[in-house]
Chains A and B, each alone.
Chain A
Amino acid sequence: MVKFLKFPKFTKAFRLEERRRFIIGYFFLLPFFVFIATFWIKPLIDSIWLSFNDVKYTFENMRFVGLDNYIKIFTKDIYVPDVIFTTVLYVGTVILINAFYSFIIAFVTTYYIKNEALGTALRLLWLIPRIMPTIVYAVMWLWLIDPEYGPINMFMRFLGLKPPESWLIQRPYSWILMIIVNGFVGASWGMIIYSAAIKSLPLDIIYAAKVDGASEFQILRYIFIPLLKWPILFVTAWQTLSLLSSFGEILAIWGEYAVARAGQVVTWALYAWFKAFYVNDFGYGAALSMVLVVIGIALVLLYFKIFGYRRLTQPSRVEV
């Protein structure tokens, strides 16, 4: 009955209005859809298609091979275990910097340091590695770790430690370098989200705690961390996905396939890149990428479920 009362919805005038809205709205959205279709949807479909084909050197002689590429990844490829190990090591360690160390930076620069100008200045300095273009960041690191002139080796010698002959191929030095290089880039993202969240915290809670004699550490432990639970979870989730797929800094610093492999810094995404653009085995590279695409889609859907749409779009919002 109630539904029946809403009948005017189907009158001619209303339908015309609906259609007008539809046309106007999609007139504005058309270019957007064209770009999304071309640079997101089509590549997704093509990636799936390429992964089922044998495509080497050129795209002209494709040969459908079914699941062969996938079977090869999980049964025959002898480098895959190494790659999985590296990926887990990479994501598992850099996330500690990106999601938790960044929290410390935010806590210290927005709350602990009472001088606001100093805190802002420190946060701006922390942004430097992020704003540096990948290749310049790589040049900088190549100098920092230079065996002859680099300050890191000099500092190690000064401390009486024996520096490695090469930071690029000697483990665990190559691992340490990989983690630090990416940690510097990633830390500032969490820092910004957390700082905004901390600034939005109601000050009366903190004052009340202080009046009751709470120490800064207790304030951190019992006020900041519980209240910032969602932002912390958000940054961890978001950065996990972003780390799984990012490899620019590693590629720029290590470059050659052999060097990167000797240093065991080839993560899954980088391995897919090497297979496709270094060995020119596009089909196999696409299959490797597809594994990450599936994980990525699953993770984003999971995040929608955990966070809900509103928390995903307003990560720094804190509900008290």
Chain B
Amino acid sequence: MKTRNILKIAIDVYVYGLVVVPLIIPLLGLAWLIAQSFSSKVVIGIIPNGLTLDNFFFLWKPIKFGTKVYPSIWPVVRNSLILCAVLVPTEVIVSSLAGYALSRLRVPGREGIMRFIVFLHAFPGILFLIALLYFLVQIGFYGKGILTLIGVALIKAGLNIPMSTWILKGFFDGIPWDIEWAALVDGATRFQLWRKVMLPIIRPGISAVAILSFLSGWGEWLLAYTFLKDPDVYTLPVLITSLVYEFRFVNWGLLASMSLFYIAPILITYALIQKTLLKLQLVGAVKA
């Protein structure tokens, strides 16, 4: 009897370990990031080493390294916000219009369009990166300051739209028809119906798509790093990238504190929506 108990505990330890032990690595990394942000010296392990707020000097002072100077972080924050401010409304409006049509209207060719959306969702759009650069150059948006930033936001929206349309179609599908019939009988047009009746009802869906869109824009690295070459339009991840390559072995404190500053909105958002996160299977939206 006793040996059986020991065996059971051993199996339990093994099975739990299988899932828990690898988690040490990302948790250690995250803990270090926080500890290092507030430490004056290099942190070994996760215990802060010389508590200080000096690493956050970039919030009010320019960042200098060798001949390179980044005058202030706030224009960079502004750029990140501009990217999201273009991306989120575009994605939400386009995909809620399309999602509504695919869920509610008997559009000719509807089945085909839905298959096409699933096809696009499965297909990695990032393979078109070179052609997308060509597109930016063609319309004169490349290397043109803020226009490049808007271009990147639109590209991101375009790549996200199949998936967000799909999500919103699902939300529209979940609404009973009665409400719509009532409004139609009262003489509402389809557009009024969409705007005044449906949108308010699927607000949870809209906010889910908007949040995912914001997170994907705020976290976007590859498009931004590839297309935003001018320091004037750097977004936060691009600035951090250039610091990684220049400061890598010099100033871990700055790297960590700026990373923490950058991911704070993401961590807060996820903490707020964690329940929905696991339920909706939407995380694939941010990284496929």
Residues on A close to B: CB < 8 A? 18, 21-22, 24-29, 31-32, 35-36, 38-40, 42-44, 46-47, 50, 59, 104-105, 108-109, 112-113, 120, 122-136, 138-144, 149, 151, 154, 180, 184-185, 188-189, 192-193, 195-196, 238, 241-242, 244-246, 248, 251-252, 255, 269, 272-273, 276-277, 282, 285-286, 289, 292-293, 296-297, 300, 303-304, 309, 312-313, 316
Contact = CB atoms under 8 A, between A and B. Distances in A.
Chain B interface helix/strand/loop/mixed: helix
Contacts of A125: 23, 26-27
Contact of A277 (B42, B190, B226): B226
Nearest to B115: A309
Contacts of A151: 28, 32, 44-45
Nearest to A245: B124
Given A25-B108, A130-B283, A244-B124, 4 more contacts: A31-B97, A126-B23, A286-B131, A296-B123
Q: How large is the interface on B (under 10, 10 to 19, 20 to 34, 35 or more residues)?
A: 35 or more
A139 B124 contact: no
Given A138-B244, A309-B115, A312-B122, A28 B131 contact: no
A35 B278 contact: no
Interface of B: 15-16, 18-20, 22-23, 25-30, 32-33, 36, 42-45, 93-95, 97-98, 100-102, 105-108, 110, 113-115, 118-120, 122-135, 137-138, 154-155, 157-159, 161-162, 165-166, 190-191, 194, 215, 218-219, 221-222, 225-226, 237, 240-241, 244-245, 248, 252, 255-256, 259, 262-263, 266, 270, 274, 277-278, 281, 283-284, 286-288
A144 B107 contact: no
B30 to A, nearest CB: 6
A252 B241 contact: yes
A145 to B, nearest CB: 10
B158 A35 contact: yes
A149 B241 contact: no
Contacts of A36: 120, 158, 161-162
B158 A133 contact: no
Contacts of B120: 36, 40
Nearest to A238: B122
A246 B126 contact: yes
Nearest to A37: B158
A38 B215 CA distance: 23
Contact of B26 (A59, A184, A252): A184
A39 B281 contact: no
Given A29-B97, A32-B165, A129-B26, A22 B248 contact: no
B113 A29 contact: yes
B20 A122 contact: yes
Nearest to B108: A22
Contacts of B266: 131-133
A50 B137 CA distance: 14
Given A22-B107, A245-B124, A139 B244 contact: yes
A122 B128 contact: no
Nearest to A97: B22
Contact of B129 (A126, A255, A289): A289
Contact of B286 (A42, A130, A142, A246): A130
B115 A133 contact: no
Contacts of B221: 133-135, 248, 252
Contacts of A50: 130-131, 134
Contacts of A122: 19-20, 23
Contacts of A24: 105, 190
Contacts of B16: 108, 113
A143 B155 CA distance: 32
A43 B131 CA distance: 5
A50, A131, A244, A255 interface centre (most CB from chain B within 10 Å): A131
30 contacts: A21-B106, A27-B191, A29-B113, A32-B95, A35-B157, A38-B135, A38-B158, A39-B155, A39-B157, A40-B128, A43-B125, A46-B131, A50-B134, A109-B19, A120-B278, A122-B23, A125-B23, A133-B219, A133-B237, A133-B263, A135-B237, A139-B244, A184-B26, A192-B283, A241-B123, A242-B288, A246-B287, A252-B241, A272-B127, A309-B114
B284 A32 contact: no
Nearest to B100: A28
A43 B165 CA distance: 20
A273 B133 CA distance: 12
B244 A135 contact: yes
Contacts of B277: 124, 127
B211 to A, nearest CB: 12
A279 to B, nearest CB: 12
A35 B108 CA distance: 20
A293 B127 contact: yes
B274 A104 contact: no
B11 to A, nearest CB: 8
Given A125-B23, A127-B277, A28 B97 contact: yes
A18 B105 CA distance: 11
Contacts of B226: 273, 277
B100 to A, nearest CB: 6
B33 A136 contact: yes
B284 to A, nearest CB: 6
A142 B252 CA distance: 10
A262 to B, nearest CB: 17
A20 to B, nearest CB: 10
B33 A139 contact: yes
Given A36-B158, A125-B27, A296-B123, A273 B105 contact: no
